[in-house]
Amino acid sequence: MITINMKTIKKVILLFGGFTLLLSSCVEDDSVALPAAPENPKLDLTQYTRADAGVMMQGFYWDVEPRGEWYNVLNTKVADWANSGINRVWLPAPGKGASGGFSMGYDPSDYFDVGEFDQQGTIKTRFGSRAELENLIQNFHANNIEVIADIVMGHNSGGGLQANPFRGGEEVYSLFDENNGNASGKFNRNFNHFHPNEIHNADPQALFFAETDLCHDQPYVQDWLWERDDSVGEFYKSLGFDGWRFDYVKSFDPKWVKAWNDKIGGFSVGENFDGNEQVLKDWVDASGSPAFDFAMFYRLDETLDRAKDLSALGNEGNMLRKLDPANAVTFVANHDTEKDENPDNRISYANKLLAYAYMLTHDGYPTIFYSDYENEAFKPQLKKLIQIYNSIATGAIEIIEANENEYIMKRAGNGDNPGLILYMNISDKATQYDISTNWVNAKIVDYADNSRFTPTTDANGNVTIYAPGKSYTIWSLGK
């Protein structure tokens, strides 16, 4: 029991999950007894672990530190990520970049140098040595986590100058050999392997490094990237990589992703940086690969930050996950959005957990950003949300309400799995909503721990649910 002195206190304000209860009293006794906090009313969610569950971790942020030690840093995270329900980790592009020890991998020079050749001013990549990479992958595998490599096959950097006759003799950095940024001696390249060349003029959107935009129509390029037994893809698979994240897929035809996957195999996801859900769906259909759901990302940014109106979350078909949930890889932040100074290209810190609550209760395959998960202000709640996704975030989705301040969604569950109800509230004040559930005469609990109320449904499954201001609750069956 809890006792409070009432001699001088006439009014006591109690806060329960964001709701205010005002008690007035004229009691002159020394104390008044209040009920103790209830025991944990939640069910053990491990009994509902889904076979199709799993969450991917983006295992890096822009300009990771310390340079040359990132693989070793990640090795200290493996057990915790595995215990939290992570089943895949996306690692940065492993090859040596033109900027050497400063490279984040997006300026690929030598695909086969993963930290063992002395070139571009370093032996290690920014992330570590080949031995450290292989050790990290083995550790992930020992903890039942697949490892995804970032594949940058649209453009190259760091080669030597040579005249390109297809550019009127202009000198461009298109010579890659043992003395020019390709110490491995594998996949040596020259001007004819970039655009324009004798067989192909340009890719659709070669916005970066146009002079060294790789031409995948060249059989030599196809052979070295994925067709040969000692290709880039086969080499990365031999290191232990289980799948692929294709960088900036707008810069080459989606059929090349399909060709890679047909030959190399494994999970894949494409970065088609576009907020139009139909553009994403068309790319998925053409490539046969899942894609990051930039449409969902921008809808969340729009509703939570710009419009401050959740109504659009109720619209049909405005995200890839609504059109094709099996091929939608959802996310709230990544290395690009978090370094973008334009606030319209990132979800604000204040609304991050609301966005994660949406993502980790809906369908699609969710990705957690390293810097968010390893932020101690977010980590406890993200661990809860990951467990919720991996257990009771299942069954048909029904949108109950989507207005300026509230978004309420119900997952029907299946079999013995009870499903859940998400209640998002972006107003300043606590709100409540009368809802019809699938649970009859049952106590329900907020598994996000943002409300301590434990209401009981009636004989028809009706109940009032609650959400604190600028927060969310996730309701399901209690004990």
8-state DSSP, 316: T
8-state DSSP, 140: H
Query: Is a pLDDT exceeding 60 seen at residue 36?
Result: no
Taking residues 235-248, what's their average pLDDT?
98
Write down the pLDDT at residue 50: 87
Residues found in the chain: 479
CA distances from 154 to 135, 237, 287, 291, 347 (A): 28, 20, 15, 17, 28
- Of 199, 117, 202, 198, nearest in space to 158 by CA: 117
Query: Is a pLDDT exceeding 90 seen at residue 144?
Result: yes
- Structure confidence by residue, pLDDT tens digits, 304-316: 999 999 999 999 9
- Of 53, 20, 36, 67, nearest in space to 392 by CA: 53
CATH architecture, domain defined by 397-477: Sandwich (2.60)
How does residue 7 score in pLDDT terms, banded at 50, 70 and 90?
very low
Q: Domain limits of the chain?
A: 2-34, 52-389, 397-477
**Structure token pair of residue 160:** 């030597």
How close are the terminal C-alpha atoms of the chain, in Å? 22
Whole-angstrom distance, CA of residue 118 vs CA of residue 106: 19
CATH topology of domain 52-389: TIM Barrel (3.20.20)
How does residue 37 score in pLDDT terms, banded at 50, 70 and 90?
very low
**Structure token pair of residue 90:** 């996306």
Write down the pLDDT at residue 209: 79
Write down the pLDDT at residue 34: 37
- Structure confidence by residue, pLDDT tens digits, 376-425: 999 999 999 999 999 999 999 999 999 999 999 999 999 999 999 999 99
**Please, are residues 246 and 271 in contact by the beta-carbon 8 Å criterion?**
yes
**Please, are residues 447 and 475 in contact by the beta-carbon 8 Å criterion?**
yes
- Structure confidence by residue, pLDDT tens digits, 170-200: 999 999 999 999 999 999 999 999 999 999 9
Write down the pLDDT at residue 25: 31
Per CATH, 52-389 and 397-477 having the same topology is answered no
CA distances from 148 to 56, 371, 373, 425 (A): 9, 18, 18, 35
Write down the pLDDT at residue 31: 37
Query: Is a pLDDT exceeding 60 seen at residue 326?
Result: yes
CB atoms within 10 A of CB 122: 20
HEC states along 49-89? CCCCCCEEEECCCCCCCCCCCHHHHHHCCHHHHHHHCEEEE
Task: Tell me if 223 is assigned to a ligand binding site.
Answer: yes
**Please, are residues 476 and 418 in contact by the beta-carbon 8 Å criterion?**
yes
Write down the pLDDT at residue 344: 87
Write down the pLDDT at residue 343: 87
Write down the pLDDT at residue 225: 98
Write down the pLDDT at residue 9: 33
Whole-angstrom distance, CA of residue 303 vs CA of residue 355: 10
Which residues does 42 contact at the CB level (< 8 Å), separation at least 6? 445, 447, 478, 479
Query: Is a pLDDT exceeding 60 seen at residue 86?
Result: yes
Residue 344 or 275, more confident: 275
The residues annotated with a catalytic role in the active site are 247, 271
CB atoms within 10 A of CB 38: 9
CB atoms within 10 A of CB 462: 12
Query: Is a pLDDT exceeding 50 seen at residue 10?
Result: no
Query: Is a pLDDT exceeding 50 seen at residue 202?
Result: yes
Query: Is a pLDDT exceeding 90 seen at residue 3?
Result: no
Taking residues 292-321, what's their average pLDDT?
98
Q: Dump the DSSP string for 259-309.
A: HHHHHH-SEEEE----S-HHHHHHHHHHH-S-EE-HHHHHHHHIIIIIS--
Write down the pLDDT at residue 38: 54
Q: Across all residues in the chain, what is the average pLDDT? A: 92
CB atoms within 10 A of CB 408: 24
Task: Indicate yes or no: pTM above 0.75.
Answer: yes
Q: What are 409's strand-pairing partners? A: 399, 422
**Please, are residues 154 and 62 in contact by the beta-carbon 8 Å criterion?**
no
∠ Cα 171 175 177 (to 5°): 160
